[in-house]
Amino acid sequence: MTRVVNLRSDTVTRPTDAMRRAMANAEVGDDYYRDDPTVRALEEKAASVFGKEAAMLVFSATMANLVSVLAQTSRGHSVILEESSHIFNNEAGFLAAFGGVTPRTVRGVRGRMTPAQVRAAVFPRAVLHPQTRLLCLENTHNAAGGCCLSLQQVQGLCGTAVSLGLKVHLDGARIFNASVSLGVSVKELTAPADSVTVCLTKGLGCPVGALVLGRQDFIEDARRWRQVAGGGMRQGGVFAAAGLVALDTMVDRLAVDHANARRLAVLLAEAGLHVDPPPEEVETNIVFAEVPEELMDAAGFVSALGLKGVVVNAPRARRVRCITHHDVSADDIEFAGACVREVLAVGATRTSVS
């Protein structure tokens, strides 16, 4: 069988054997009536791990972000987000489509906004302006290259939000990656946020699901919005069972993905790609690299790499993203590095001949 190393995303993982067994044997009920014991067990466990009053299982991190924003804003309000955040760019415009809220974006450095930028992005209280209600943070930040917001940065931004009368939603789809990388518990990292999204299908390897966490009254509102979005579930215990396995077995091992990402960044840089953030600043499992124009055409690079069995997404401009995960080993990373070198060597020969 041809070897395939899929670096498109950490969402491409297959459920582990333990997850499949737990799913097959899950005790279930109808979650609409709140009598699915496995869903309740997952929600209670997550609430305890995060030190929040309550949690709710939803189908995806996008749905978790959606219901969190809908539960904390009304039509005509404004939300502050980092310019390259996932919610603003990659969630099909739900802020406008469902929320009727005005996004106010701020350009962060490596995805990090400063308290001063947040203060400046709040609309003045006047009849002319939308009222700013919510600050959205993303930790880790996908498009910035998996960068973490430190505990101090989270506390600074959330403190500023409180002083401005704003609620804070944290898109923590990869919050466990941040926690492992920083050596700070998810409880501490998310403590100042009013609502938190946690994805189960990324580094944690589940086939479906995400969690929303916050105060009990917020979760009750979010549950109603989940119903509005068609996200109510019945025997959800079938996939909640995988979530329980993930919380028990898939968190500490994220350090392996981070080490693999850093090694990959080194290999890509050695092969001649422009890695940004540079290898020594790769904090979690995401690596971005630009294919220099003089070396090769980026689309050609990606398709030649694919023919060798190393899969990455189509490039944006000249920028290619690689994400490490449970189904990629240290040996796979060496293989991927060797393939990149071969592809670029052929590309360079072609360029010098033409």
Ligand X SMILES: Cc1ncc(COP(=O)(O)O)c(C=O)c1O
Candidates 13, 16, 38, 62; binder of ligand X (CB under 6 A) is 62
Cβ at position 102, least distance to ligand X in Å:
20
Instruction: Please state the three-class secondary structure of 95-106 as a single string.
Output: HHHHHCCEEEEE
Give residues 112-141 in contact with ligand X (rule: CB under 6 A). Answer: 138
Nearer to ligand X, 199 or 291 (CB): 199
**Quick check: 192 and 115 in contact, CB under 8 A?**
no
Q: Which stretch binds ligand X (CB under 6 A): 59-67, 240-248, 289-297, 303-311?
A: 59-67
Cα atoms in the 13 Å half-sphere on the side-chain side of 298: 18
Encoding tokens for residue 36? 């699915």
At a CB cut-off of 8 Å and minimum separation 6, what does 254 contact? Answer: 176, 177, 180, 181, 203, 284, 285
Helix (H, G, I), strand (E, B) or coil at 282: coil
Size of the site for ligand X (CB under 6 A): 10
Q: Does 198 bind ligand X (CB under 6 A)?
A: no
* Closer of 195 and 343 to ligand X (Cβ): 195
Q: Cβ closer to ligand X: 203 or 279?
A: 203
Q: Closest Cα to residue 151, out of 118, 176, 186, 119? A: 186
Among 173, 189, 282, 328, binds ligand X (CB under 6 A): 173
61 binds ligand X (CB under 6 A): yes
Q: Is 60 in the site for ligand X (CB under 6 A)?
A: yes
How far apart are the two ends of the chain, measured CA to CA in Å? 35
- Binders in 70-99 for ligand X, by CB under 6 A: 86
The kind and range of the H/E element at 112 are none
| Binding flag, residue 195, ligand X (CB under 6 A) | no
Among 73, 78, 160, 201, binds ligand X (CB under 6 A): 201
Q: For residue 14, what are the β-bridge partners?
A: none
Nearest-approach distance from CB 82 to ligand X, in angstroms: 11
**Minimum distance, C-beta of residue 148 to ligand X, in the bound complex (Å):** 12
- Closest distance between ligand X and the C-beta of residue 15, in Å? 15
Q: Which residue has the tokens 């995806």?
A: 60
What does the block give as tokens for 127?
A: 């009849």
Burial class (CB in 10 A: 0-12, 13-18, 19+), 78: buried
Site for ligand X in 139-168 (CB under 6 A): 142
How many whole angstroms separate alpha carbon 176 and alpha carbon 169?
Answer: 16
Residue 122 or 213: the one with the smaller Cβ distance to ligand X is 213
User: Which residues, including other chains, have CB under 8 Å from residue 63's CB and lie 6 or more apart?
Assistant: 210, 226, 229, 231
310 contributes a contact to ligand X by CB under 6 A:
no
Question: Is residue 246 part of the contact set for ligand X (CB under 6 A)?
Answer: no
Residues lying near ligand X in the complex (CB under 6 A): 60-62, 86, 138, 142, 171, 173, 199, 201
